[in-house]
Amino acid sequence: DTGVSQNPRHKITKRGQNVTFRCDPISEHNRLYWYRQTLGQGPEFLTYFQNEAQLEKSRLLSDRFSAERPKGSFSTLEIQRTEQGDSAMYLCASSLEKGGTDTQYFGPGTRLTVL
């Protein structure tokens, strides 16, 4: 399968613990996006990378959240000192920017439950 992959698919953690999610984009896609989706709502943008550079962060991305994309390939999203309000589906998308508009393709998501 050559789509966007995310691991793990499910994560249960206790409040206060740190968690890290991984996203592998479609090969050769130069943009990578992170979103968060809570129950009953549409996905909300968190941050995006163009190659290895993190170019935009949403105000939703608190100081406890950090994202990296070393070498412009896979990306990781870390949440430190998790809170119950962090329980959500975390979605990754990738796209190929080549002028005009770029179409984002989403992965299956990582569902986080904070107890």
Partner 1 sequence: DAKTTQPPSMDCAEGRAANLPCNHSTISGNEYVYWYRQIHSQGPQYIIHGLKNNETNEMASLIITEDRKSSTLILPHATLRDTAVYYCIVRVSNSGGGADGLTFGKGTHLIIQP
Q: Which residues bind partner 1 (CB under 8 A)?
A: 4, 31, 33, 35, 41-48, 50, 55-56, 58, 89, 91, 93, 97, 99-109, 111
CB of 1 to partner 1, least distance (A): 13
Nearer to partner 1, 30 or 76 (CB): 30
Dig out the tokens for 109 from the structure. 């998501």
Nearer to partner 1, 15 or 98 (CB): 98
Length of the chain, in residues: 115
CB of 16 to partner 1, least distance (A): 27
- Coil/strand/helix, residue 46: strand
Which residue is associated with the tokens 């989706």?
37
Nearer to partner 1, 18 or 95 (CB): 95
- Coil/strand/helix, residue 4: coil
Instruction: Output DSSP code: residue 88.
Output: E
CB of 5 to partner 1, least distance (A): 11
Q: Hey, which residues does 93 pair with through a beta bridge?
A: 33, 106
- Coil/strand/helix, residue 84: helix
CB of 109 to partner 1, least distance (A): 5
